[in-house]
A and B are shown apart, each in its own frame.
Chain A
C-alpha cells in the first residue's frame, strides 16, 4: 500500500510544471555560478602563485638575518566554490618574524587589484541552494495535505486501510525523491565543470559528500516546514501565503535582522584598553632589561654612535586596536666603516641578548592578546553565529562552511600553522647561531644562505576534523527534521478530515 501511495505521489510530483521549472532554474543557476566561481578561483590561485614566488625571491634577496622578510601566503581553498565563507574576505598573507606573533588580525591581502569589485558579493553554490532548495521544499509541500483536503481526495485516501503516519511518510519520501533530482543533477554538472579545471583530492570528494548530505537535510527541513503548514491549515491559499512569508522571514529577513539587533558588547573599548595596558607593561619590562644590558655593556651613553655604526632601527609597539605586538631590532647597512669595527663584538652580544628576549616578550604578550582577542572578537562572532542558527539557513551555512573548511576554525588553522612556522624559523636561527653572528646585521663577509630554511607548508585539516566541526550542525538539522516530522504526524493524527 505504501508503495502504491509513493508511486502515485511520485508521478503526481514529477508530472507538474513546478518540477520542470524548479529543476531548470536550479541547474541554470548552479552551472552559471560555477563557471564564474571557477574562473574566480583560478584568478586567486594565480595571484597566490605569483605572491609565493615573489615572497620567496624577497627572502633570498635579503642578505642579513635581521632584515629577512619571511612572508607566507594562504592558498585559496578550492572548496570555497561551494561555500566561500571567510576564505576570500580575510587576509591571505602574513609575515613571520620572531618579534611578532602572526594572527588573522594582522594578515594582509594580496591579489586584489581592484578592491572596488568587492561591491558585488560573490554567489557560491551553497547560497544558490540556500535560496532555491528552501523555496523548492516549500512549493512542493504547501498543498500536499491542504490541497487533498480541499479537493476531497484526502477523505478517499483515509478511507483505505492505511495509517495516517504512512500517508505522510509516502508523501515525504516521494517528494524528497523528486526534489533530489535537481539537487543531484546540478551538483553533478557543477562537479563536471569543477574537475575539468581544478584537481580535487579524494578528501575533497568526501567533503563534498558531506556538503551534499547537509544540503539534503536542509532541503528536507524546508519540505517538512511546508508540510507542517499544509497540515495545520484548511486552505491551500492560506498555506501558500504562510509558507511564502515564513520563507521570506527565514531566508531574507532573519539572517540580516539578527546581526543589527544584537548590540555588540559596550565595554569592548574598556577590554581592549586593559589588554593594551597589560601588553604595554610587558613591553616596558622588555625595554628596561634592554636598557640594563646597554648600561652594563657601557654603551648606553654612546647610543647614537652605536646606532650609526649599525644602521640601527629599533621599535617595540603594541597597536591600540588590534593589540598587535611588534618588536623589531634591525640593522640596515651594507658594510661597517673601519672606525666602527670596534662596535661589532658589542653588537653581537647585543643581538644575542635582545633577540631571544624579544622572542620571549612577544610570546608573553601573545598569551594576554590571545585571550583578549577571543573575548572581544571571536566571542562576538560566535554569538552572532549561534543566533543565526535559529534559522535553518544559519545551520546550513555553518555546516557547509565547516565541511569546506572556509569557516573561522578552518582559517584559524592556517594562522596556527603560521605560528608553528614561526617557531620553526626561530629554532632554525638558534641552530645557526644567527643571533650572535656577524651576518645578523651586516653582509660584508658573505650573505646569508636561506636555502636550508625549511619551507612553509600548510595542509588543510583532514576530513575527520572537518566532519567533527560540521557534525554538530548536521545533527541539529537532523534533529529539527525529526522533531518537525513528529509534530506533523501528531497534528495530522488529531486533525479532522
Chain B
C-alpha cells in the first residue's frame, strides 16, 4: 500500500499540476497574510477606542438612578484575531448592541432596553464585488478544485494507459490499491497546502501587530484538520467518478460540473429559495407591534396614575410603568432579532446539502467570526444585561435609606456608586461551546467523506480492467 502511495506521490511531485497548485496556493495565502496584517491592527484599534469610550461613559456615572435609567451604553463585539482564516461576512454583521432609552418628557424617563442594530450592508460601496481571500475561500474553492484535478485520472488514467491491468496482476487486494491512491493524492495535495499555510502563519506570527495565544493556535489546528477532512471528501469524489468512468476526459467533465454546481451555485441558490420559507416580520409590522404594546401598557397604568393623588403611590405606579415598558420593549426587540436570525439560520441549514457550506460554517465557527460568533456575542450581551439588572437591584437593596422604587429618581438610592462596583462587559469565546455548535456540521462532513469513500471502494471493486 505504501508502495502505491509513494509511487503516486513521486508521480505527482513531478507533474505540472503540482507546480501550478503550489504557486497558486502560496500566492493566495501570502496575500491573505499581508492583507490581514494591514487590516487587523486598524480593526482592533477601532474596537478598542469604541469600547473604551463606552466604558468611560459608563464608569463616569455615579448616580444609581442614572445608571439604572441609561444602562450599560454600547457593547462591542471583539474582533477575532483569526479573521484571516474565515471572514464570515463580519463586515455585514453589526459590531455592537446598544442600550437605548427614550426621553418621555416630564420627570418620567424611560429605562434602557437592549437594541440590536440590523446588519449593515454598505450602501455607499460602489466598488466591484469581490469575495474576501481568506483561508475559507482558499480551502473551499481552490483546494477542492485542486483535489479534483489530482484525482480525476487516478483510476481512469491508468486504465487508459493499461497500467491498471499490470498493477492488478500483482497479488495486491483492490482496496489496498484504492487506499494507496487516496493516500498518495492526499499527501501530494497536502504538501503545497501545508507549505502555504505555514508560510501564511510565519508571516502573520512574525509581525508584532497580531498576537496569537495558545487557544488560537489550537483553533488553527482544528481549522487545518477540517480543511483536510474537506479535502478528503473531494479526493474521494474524484476517485469515485474516476473509477466509474472509462475516459479521464469524461471523468473530469463530470467532476467539474459537480464541483461548479455544488461549490459555486448551490449554496447561494438554495439559500435564496429557502429564505422565503419563513420570512421574518417586516420592519413596519415590528414597529406596529411595539407601538401597540406601548399603548397597552400605557392604558393599564395611566388610569391608575390619574386615579391617585398620593405622591408615594404615584411613585410606585410610575416605577412599575417604567420597568414594564422597558422589559416589554426589550422582549419585543429580542424576539424580532431571533426571528430574523432564525430565517437566516434556516436558509443556512438547507445549504448544508452542499459540503462547501458545511466547511464554511465550520471554519467560521472555529475562527470566531460569522453568524455563530454573532449569536454568541448576543448571548454574552444578554447575560451581561441580566448581571447589570441584578447589580442595580442589589445596590438598591443595600441602601437602607432608599424607598426601593426602581424607575423613579426619588424612589431610588442616592448613594454614590463606585466605578469599580459596576459590572463590566466581557466578550468571551469558549471552545467547548463552539464544538457544540459545530458538532452537527462535523458529523455531516465526516458522513459525506465516509459515504464517498465507500462509494469509491464499491465502484473500484466492480471495475473491469
Contact = CB atoms under 8 A, between A and B. Distances in A.
B126 interface: yes
A405 to B, nearest CB: 15
A117 B347 contact: yes
Contacts of B264: 131
Dominant SS among interface residues on chain A: helix
A135 B131 CA distance: 20
Contact of B272 (A21, A108, A122, A378): A122
A116 B125 contact: no
Interface in A102-156: 104-105, 107-109, 112-123, 128, 131-132, 135, 139, 143
B141 interface: yes
B145 interface: yes
Contact of A118 (B119, B137, B269, B281): B119
Given A32-B269, A118-B92, A253 B347 contact: no
Given A33-B269, A384-B127, A109 B253 contact: no
Nearest to B370: A119
A259 B126 CA distance: 13
B272 A25 contact: no
A226 to B, nearest CB: 13
A116 B142 contact: no
A487 interface: no
B149 A253 contact: no
B256 interface: yes
B283 interface: yes
A324 to B, nearest CB: 11
B198 interface: no
Contacts, number: 175
A8 interface: no
Given A36-B269, A245-B20, A256-B137, A118 B121 contact: yes
Contacts of A123: 265, 268-269, 272
B269 A261 contact: no
A469 to B, nearest CB: 15
Given A143-B249, A261-B31, A90 B126 contact: yes
A127 to B, nearest CB: 9
Contacts of B17: 241, 245
A118 B398 CA distance: 48
B118 to A, nearest CB: 5
B249 to A, nearest CB: 7
Contacts of B416: none
A15 interface: no
Contacts of A91: 123
Nearest to A252: B141
B124 A18 contact: no
B213 to A, nearest CB: 26
A114 B130 contact: no
A86 interface: yes
Contact of B256 (A112, A116, A135, A381): A135
B253 A240 contact: no
A106 to B, nearest CB: 9
A132 B120 CA distance: 32
B126 A253 contact: no
Given A381-B126, A384-B127, A408-B126, A17 B267 contact: no
Interface in A356-400: 377-378, 380-381, 384-385, 388, 394, 397
Given A241-B20, A248-B145, A253-B24, A381 B127 contact: yes
Contacts of B27: 253, 257
Nearest to B258: A25
A318 interface: no
Interface in B281-302: 281-283
B419 interface: no
A296 to B, nearest CB: 37
Given A118-B119, A242-B16, A245-B20, A113 B128 contact: no
Closest 10 CB pairs of A and B: A115-B119, A120-B271, A259-B130, A18-B253, A91-B123, A245-B20, A113-B282, A116-B344, A114-B340, A381-B126
